Structure 1
Amino acid sequence: MTHDHDHDHDRTVKPMVDEVTDFEVLEIALRELCIEKGIFTAEDHRRFTEFSEQIGPTPAANLVARAWLDPDFKQLALTEPMTASKEVGVDWLEPTGFGTPSDFTAFEILEDTATLHHVIVCALCSCYPRPILGNSPEWYRTPNYRRRLVRWPRQVLAEFGLYLPDDIEVRVQDSNQKHRYMVMPLRPEGTDGWTEQQLAEIVTRDCLIGVALPKPGVTSNVIVDTRPAVHP
């Protein structure tokens, strides 16, 4: 029995991934069709991809910090959030000049109070205010979070380590194709005299989604203690 040297197994190039998902095939086909029809160029696609990948929650944190310090700016943020976004360097029309169907939509900032706590979700998909918060975390896009938050919000928040008193109403705001939301949490105690930069550092991405509260000393998205889901 002779070995077939026409096929050298040791030198066969293996694929970078084990399989390509149906969504990846759809994305490639749609992208190539749009480029072929002249809707946008490959350079446009590269530029927008790089733009979207570098977005993070820092502008939103700066917006909240400024609102905590400046009542006039806070009013602007709650009544004209698109205008307030520009004040912290975010233009929802960028980088194309006309926005995108998934991003340039109605935007609302939800103000927490002493008796009301907001948390955002997209129960049907994974809609998210990317221009000001960056790309959504993986857990936000999972069916486990999306389907359970609208049914058992206090339990899900507790799994993030956030336990709210019974006298605080929890309001789940469901994003959709036309609306995006961001939470403006309450300013925590112990931050009197802090600068805008100091305040912005404790406004994490999770605070802006509503699954955490800003706390002095917590300046990043730390891994919190979680407990098993009762309703997986």
Structure 2
Amino acid sequence: MHDDHGHGNTHDHCDASSPQIRVEALEDLLVERGIADRERIDATIERFEHDVGPMIGAGLVARAWVDSSLRTRLLDDADAVVAELGVRGAEIEHIEIKANEPGVHNVVVCTLCSCYPWALLGLPPNWYKSPEYRARMVREPRAVLSEMGLDLEPDTEMRVWDSSSETRFLVLPERPAGTEGWPVERLAELVTRDSMIGVARAADPGNQ
């Protein structure tokens, strides 16, 4: 974990640069030969980034909002809960969940790569993998969040969690006010991918 004043983590990360280059080269070749359409590829990626992918994580967060015992278990041992629920997939061998609460805000980054809980959040967004986000989030997290549209109170404690190939993190955003009595399915609609990374709050229920 990092605070507002920098970081010194030296853990090993996966190297995503070579696979990414190969994937991009393959996409270019398929498009060039008329086998694939770049707009359809981009639309599919967008769907998995924002809609289909994050649904599993959103459902988990919504259940934790209404079930205090589940929330406690998630914070204590997320691996056990995820296994019990039958969630399987890439990059969740070990997952830790960090809860936002009044006066405390968590955000996730991977400083040397793009380690990310794919099975819970779907595809990582491009900005999460960018060198600028990875470098600046640990040095000036408040400024980065502000640029992304999230302004925190000056006295809010920032906790920056650096993902690695051994541990991925997911943020449990605060439950929005005015959602008392909402069913889990409706609550899950308020949970966005960005809120589970920590660069945004859960959606405003007034807009639903």
Normalization by structure 1: what TM-score? Answer: 0.65
1:128 aligns with 2:116: yes
Q: Deviations over 1:5-59 (max 9, x none)?
A: xxxxxxxxxxxxxxxx99318x98xxxxxxxxxxxxxxxxxxxxxxxx7961111
Point out 4+ residue stretches in structure 1 off by more than 3 angstroms.
86-89
Shift in Å, 1:112: 1.0
Unaligned 5+ segments in structure 1 are 1-20, 29-52, 93-99, 220-232
Change in Cα spacing, 1:151 to 1:107, as seen in structure 2 (3 Å) is same
The structure with more radius of gyration = 1
Shift in Å, 1:86: 4.0
Letter in 2 for 1:78: L
Name the structure 1 match of 2:21.
23
Residue correspondences, number: 166
Check conservation: 1:59, 1:89, Cα contact below 8 A.
no
Letter in 2 for 1:179: T
Residue from 151, 158, 165 that aligns with 2:139:
151
The CA distance in 1 between the partners of 2:194 and 2:206, in whole Å, is 15
Higher relative contact order (CA 8 A, sep 6+): 2
Change in Cα spacing, 1:163 to 1:22, as seen in structure 2 (3 Å) is closer
Q: Which has the higher helix share?
A: 2
1:206 aligns with 2:204: no
Name the structure 2 match of 1:142.
130
Check conservation: 2:92, 2:118, Cα contact below 8 A.
no
Task: State the secondary structure of the residue aligned to 1:211.
Answer: coil
- The 5-angstrom pairing of residues 29-178 of structure 1 reads 56-86=53-83, 88-92=85-89, 103-178=91-166
Q: CA RMSD in A?
A: 2.5
The CA distance in 1 between the partners of 2:107 and 2:157, in whole Å, is 11
Change in Cα spacing, 1:218 to 1:150, as seen in structure 2 (3 Å) is farther
1:216 aligns with 2:205: yes
Shift in Å, 1:89: 4.5
The CA distance in 2 between the partners of 1:186 and 1:85, in whole Å, is 20
Check conservation: 1:59, 1:88, Cα contact below 8 A.
no
Unaligned 5+ segments in structure 2 are 1-18, 27-47
The CA distance in 1 between the partners of 2:141 and 2:164, in whole Å, is 18
Shift in Å, 1:179: 0.7
